[in-house]
Structure 1
Amino acid sequence: MNAKVNISNRAGASFPVRRMDFEFGEVPRYWAANDAGLTHFMTTLSALFPEGEQYFVDSTRAVHKHPKLSDPDLQREISAFIGQEAMHSKEHLAFNSSAQSYGYDIRTMEQQTGKVIRTGTKILTTLLKPFGVTKEMIDLTGTCALEHFTAVIAAELLQNKDVQAMFNDSTMHQLWMWHAVEENEHKAVVFDVYTAIYGNGLKAYTMRAIAMIIAMGLIFMTQSYFTAQLMKIDGKLTWKDSKYMLKFMYARKGFMTRQIPELLDFFRPNFHPNDSDTDQLLADWKLKLGL
């Protein structure tokens, strides 16, 4: 692995916090299948992570002292979740900064992502306050929805050899595979926090269903807009230069469309993230990556 790894499990959680230090100085301009469209699609996903994962951390920290979360095992999981997400934010910030050298203003995209999150949660808080819905509940249910989205994408990365083959740079391959492993390690933590506080009743279910619909819409619009911006910077915002990426991601068996059934699984009233068993997949990849 092209990164220094320092593993800490002092919290005694079921998964560790790994401190990573990737070097992005030699990452080529088009590191995904040597294609501008695919590279920019993945780069703009990375642009969403720093602010998005800080939102996850803030949402969980805001409720971690709730009396219904007194179970010491769950508290250890929360601490490890926060540690992993903080590390994801750190490494994607480092990659995003390296992309600036190619003339891509990823920092502005990060800031715009934060604005989308803050504006969306502010509007929802105002609209739903008369129904007894707090900002803490909105933030936590939004985090549940987005954590499911990232876990599903991560599992697809780990099990689909066609998707893995698009990485023509070893550092980027290792960054995304490490991130994918950890997203599945902690995929149930926030959901367990949410249900411990708010239960599994109609109100809790309705809120998480609404959160998933809104989150998916905002992600699609924001990430697509960012991708178009980067393609425009390279003078490649054309059908010719975009069609491979669009087919790879959104064709009938594309990377994103293949995940629709699992994303929709979130709407089952009795859904739980661990219904999808990725234990063996994670064990194989941790061995492969030296984690």
Structure 2
Amino acid sequence: MPRSTPPATVHDSLVLEPRDVRFDWSALPLHWIPDEPMATHTINVLHLLLPEGERWFVKVFKDALPLITDEQLREEVLGFIGQEAIHAEAHQEVLDHLLGQGLDPRPYVRQISWLFHRVLGDKPGLTPAQRRENTIERVAFVAAIEHFTAFLGNWALNSPGLDRAKADPTMLDLLRWHGAEEVEHRSVAYDLMVHLDPGYLRRVRGMAVSGPLLVHLWVRGARFMLAADPTLDGRIRPTWREARLIARRGLLPDPGRAVRSALRYFRPGYHPTQEGSSSQALAYLATSPAARAAATH
């Protein structure tokens, strides 16, 4: 059975800094990519999934902290927890703004909350050994999801189509600030998984469960947002064909590239540092209006 590449040296210089950013959503239009409701709401699915999802990440990683024996990795996990907690709150603010514009995201968010808290949450009555196994299994799910968030972050940092389409600059900064931090900490969940269980089967199982689930949730989320948009009256329904056409204009990630990225996760020698560029991520964080403002507080 293939084994994962040991991560002993990949995190030697990684120092994760939670950046306490703030965004002003008062002027955000409902369709923040002008005349592109499908592209807008397909990306808006992030705001539906991430607040509950990243709070769940934080809970899982806090549960995993007592199992970590590598002090450098422990520091990275603590930095990861800090960054993810801020991500959740930043996207929650967008949901609150959408509600004020007449688009109620709460029915879908309640379903996401149920998934993370009831299906993927703590299991009562477990023995210590079972609790440890459950924690490691959930870490593997997070590692697979973090592969996708790094893919999306890399796309956001390299998406001039959004600038050409005159997407709202505050939303662009949110997406690119968040995307840059996802690229910055892209190896932490994977390194933690390998630290707790270096077996290849755990990695495969994590992606086999998380990958299809994410696709399903994203498609359902896009359908929900377009149906709930009070300005559309249900006139627009998402299709894969339309998503590919929009992706060709640079307004959405290319579905084919997303599939190829997921398949790379199964390579025996895979490591997240092979995805995206840390230097590019840090360069954006040095210029992000929200991150720069946070640094001065």
TM-score, length of structure 2 as denominator length: 0.80
Kindly provide the CA deviation profile for residues 127-165 of structure 1, in whole angstroms up to 9, marking residues without a partner as x: xxxx99932133111111111111101101101211444
CA–CA distance in 1 between the matches of 2:75 and 2:287?
26
Match of 1:52 in 2: 53
What amino acid sits opposite 1:162 in the alignment? G
Residue 34 of structure 1 deviates from its aligned partner by 3.2
Match of 2:209 in 1: 211
Once the two structures are aligned, what percentage of the paired residues are identical?
21
Match of 1:175 in 2: 174
Residues 1:19 and 2:20 are matched in the alignment: yes
* 1:193-212 pair list within 5 angstroms: 193-199=192-198, 201-212=199-210
Residue 38 of structure 1 deviates from its aligned partner by 1.6
Q: Is 2:76–2:188's contact at 8 Å kept on the other side of the alignment?
A: yes
Match of 2:232 in 1: 234
Change in CA separation of 1:180 and 1:31 when aligned onto 2, cut-off 3 Å: same
Residue 246 of structure 1 deviates from its aligned partner by 5.7
Higher relative contact order (CA 8 A, sep 6+): 2
What amino acid sits opposite 2:281 in the alignment? L
Pairs aligned (count): 271
Change in CA separation of 1:26 and 1:232 when aligned onto 2, cut-off 3 Å: closer
Kindly provide the CA deviation profile for residues 172-205 of structure 1, in whole angstroms up to 9, marking residues without a partner as x: 1111111111111111111111110011x24323
Q: Is 1:33–1:168's contact at 8 Å kept on the other side of the alignment?
A: yes
* 1:79-158 pair list within 5 angstroms: 79-118=78-117, 120-121=119-120, 134-158=133-157
Match of 1:8 in 2: none
| Alpha-carbon RMSD | 3.2
Q: Which moved more, 1:235-244 or 1:83-92?
A: 235-244
Task: Show structure 2 runs of 5+ residues with no match.
Answer: 1-12, 125-129, 292-297
Counting strand residues as a fraction of each chain, which structure ranks higher? Answer: 1
Task: Show structure 1 runs of 5+ residues with no match.
Answer: 1-11, 126-130
CA–CA distance in 1 between the matches of 2:239 and 2:133?
45
Match of 2:71 in 1: 72
What amino acid sits opposite 1:57 in the alignment? V
* 1:211-290 pair list within 5 angstroms: 211-231=209-229, 234-238=232-236, 247-249=245-247, 255-257=253-255, 258-289=257-288
Change in CA separation of 1:167 and 1:183 when aligned onto 2, cut-off 3 Å: farther
Q: Is 2:54–2:87's contact at 8 Å kept on the other side of the alignment?
A: yes
* 1:158-169 pair list within 5 angstroms: 158-166=157-165, 168-169=167-168
What amino acid sits opposite 1:267 in the alignment? F
Match of 2:127 in 1: none
SS at match of 1:178: helix
Change in CA separation of 1:243 and 1:194 when aligned onto 2, cut-off 3 Å: closer
What amino acid sits opposite 1:170 in the alignment? P
